Structure 1
């Protein structure tokens, strides 16, 4: 069924606030025009219908405090604030409220439930960020600071202020965010901790979800694996990542010959089938903890999310061994 659309808006003149200075014009528009296709936003820019201080501007123009941005009439599939009027299902709202691990004026950190996409798309009407915007209607700015795969559970940061978002991204780029995961890998890991430094790239057409592959010409990626518990045919591993490439842990683990349990894309079919009989219904990957700094805070943020019951129950069915 075709999504309902709201009426065409009127011309809007927006004054750039000091906390928005330095933002690219295209990103500013995408944030303002929730529900407008990205391709249409860029078409408005190309045609000169968006004006800055009464003149045309390129998509990469960096806004200054006091700039006046003219936004032409557009038709949206959702309201201008990105918050649909239809209420969230009660169970989803309750689940997300219970999942909040930490909240202050800068960030909101969730223990992301497995099976929930972080944002809506062609096959997902409401993702986590859309749902949280409706749960927090008084928050004028609420954006994903990073992402987790749909099946991955654990610590996920949302920024409540643009300054916090930029600071978190700067910390990520500088290696100032410590991200620790728990994962169950096929096979008995030997030799203790291991650092995997293999560059990654994406392959396949952009019209579908693309695989990540090891490629010397790709983007640098580093994962540090360390065994936590050994079982007869698998190993519970801790993983610390210094970067955050798409599917990084899953691809690095498979490249080393120890794919993530339950991983349908990069995993071992026979091993996954055995794990499914033990109750594993998704990939065994959990964002266990995060530690990071933000400007103006004397102490770092340190947030932990316990291993979910569905993954803990799988471990209880495995036979431990000494290595």
Structure 2
């Protein structure tokens, strides 16, 4: 049976009669790893447990031996095992990090976007424009907002990711065992994700498969783009099917067999049919035309996800409806 991590309480919490100022100081913490937390990398565990402590600071503490497992120094890639005893030296957690307010509209509206929830999982229809997690100038992302909405959840972790501008099905695990189960399914290609994209021009019916290799490329500006590279790039495959034809555009269904960064976007671009309003890989003229019809975002939507439920072992398929503004745009286009 799963036990909660045993956190050794500092002396200041055991007694209210401490005469010195030791209660102002951070204390050494001991955590015993249980079945839910076993198997994950220590850096990921610490980032979740010690909220507000920067990753670089955690890495430095591990290097200096301030964080140890079973009295030994460990590296950030160390995988925690059942009954490991974690010793964490006193750390002052920055109080600057503002808690995510559940009063914010963007956070409160997430509750309405939940498509499925049980004791193992949440599947949410992620809004376009919201990053999956905070960082690089963002105070919070979807996962931080969900944690604010579910303060009693012992853990909430992303099972996979979606680009900031992509909307649709995103799976969040509520238990470490569910996260491991779903990650194994992703590795063994047992998860099926179908996307809908509005692309430029007449997508050929015969073009059902794109297999261009992809490589991440960092520009001098610091921006990351993905380029086609069939020599040094990673093998990639996306399957396509035409859903609807419009004058000057096609609505396609995309099924990524592999899960590379920006895969669908680059595979559409290299095929000569970039996605509408794609700031990195789009076509300016096509975007101007779509903007004039009211499109304000990337037209890429994770329409459905299918996987084996980690508890019941049943196959389940969750579908996310298109945002009303995307539906509205389609009604403005002339069908062929």
- TM-score after normalising by structure 1: 0.91
| Alpha-carbon separation, structure 1, partners of 2:222 and 2:206 | 37
| Alpha-carbon separation, structure 2, partners of 1:218 and 1:245 | 10
| Alpha-carbon separation, structure 2, partners of 1:210 and 1:293 | 33
Q: Does 1:214 align with 2:231?
A: no
Mapping of 1:185-200 within 5 angstroms?
185-200=199-214
The match for 2:158 is 144
Decide which moves more: 147-156 or 69-78: 69-78
Q: Show structure 1 runs of 4+ deviating over 6 A.
A: none
Q: Secondary structure at the match of 1:18?
A: coil
| Alpha-carbon separation, structure 1, partners of 2:70 and 2:219 | 39
| Alpha-carbon separation, structure 2, partners of 1:32 and 1:206 | 35
The match for 1:232 is 247
| Alpha-carbon separation, structure 1, partners of 2:95 and 2:200 | 44
| Alpha-carbon separation, structure 2, partners of 1:249 and 1:140 | 34
| Alpha-carbon separation, structure 2, partners of 1:250 and 1:236 | 14
- Which of 42, 58, 64 aligns to 2:75? It is 58
How big is the shift at 1:296? 3.4
| Alpha-carbon separation, structure 2, partners of 1:232 and 1:11 | 66
1:34/1:78 contact within 8 Å kept: no
Question: CA 1:170–1:47 in structure 2 vs 1: closer, same or farther (change >3 Å)?
Answer: same
Question: CA 1:191–1:156 in structure 2 vs 1: closer, same or farther (change >3 Å)?
Answer: same
How big is the shift at 1:295? 3.6
Q: Secondary structure at the match of 2:240?
A: strand
**Is there any run of 5+ residues in structure 1 with no aligned partner, and where?**
1-6
| Alpha-carbon separation, structure 2, partners of 1:233 and 1:72 | 62
The match for 1:4 is none
| Alpha-carbon separation, structure 1, partners of 2:193 and 2:220 | 28
2:205/2:241 contact within 8 Å kept: no
Decide which moves more: 209-218 or 305-314: 209-218
How big is the shift at 1:56? 1.7
CA RMSD, aligned part only?
1.9
The match for 1:153 is 167
The match for 1:92 is 106
Could you list the per-position Cα deviations for residues 154-188 of structure 1 after superposition, in whole angstroms to 9, with x for gaps in the alignment? 11111101111111111111111100011000011
Could you list the per-position Cα deviations for residues 74-132 of structure 1 after superposition, in whole angstroms to 9, with x for gaps in the alignment? 233359xx9x5463334223311100000011110001111211111132112111010
Q: Secondary structure at the match of 1:120?
A: coil
| Alpha-carbon separation, structure 1, partners of 2:222 and 2:177 | 33
How big is the shift at 1:192? 3.4
Question: CA 1:86–1:203 in structure 2 vs 1: closer, same or farther (change >3 Å)?
Answer: closer
Q: Does 1:103 align with 2:117?
A: yes
| Alpha-carbon separation, structure 2, partners of 1:228 and 1:300 | 25
The match for 1:49 is 66
Q: Does 1:120 align with 2:134?
A: yes
Q: Does 1:176 align with 2:193?
A: no
The match for 1:77 is 94
- TM-score after normalising by structure 2: 0.88
Aligned residues: 312
| Alpha-carbon separation, structure 2, partners of 1:187 and 1:310 | 21
Decide which moves more: 69-78 or 245-254: 69-78
| Alpha-carbon separation, structure 2, partners of 1:28 and 1:218 | 31
**Is there any run of 5+ residues in structure 2 with no aligned partner, and where?**
1-23
| Alpha-carbon separation, structure 1, partners of 2:300 and 2:34 | 40
Question: CA 1:251–1:78 in structure 2 vs 1: closer, same or farther (change >3 Å)?
Answer: farther
Who wins on radius of gyration, i.e. which is larger?
2
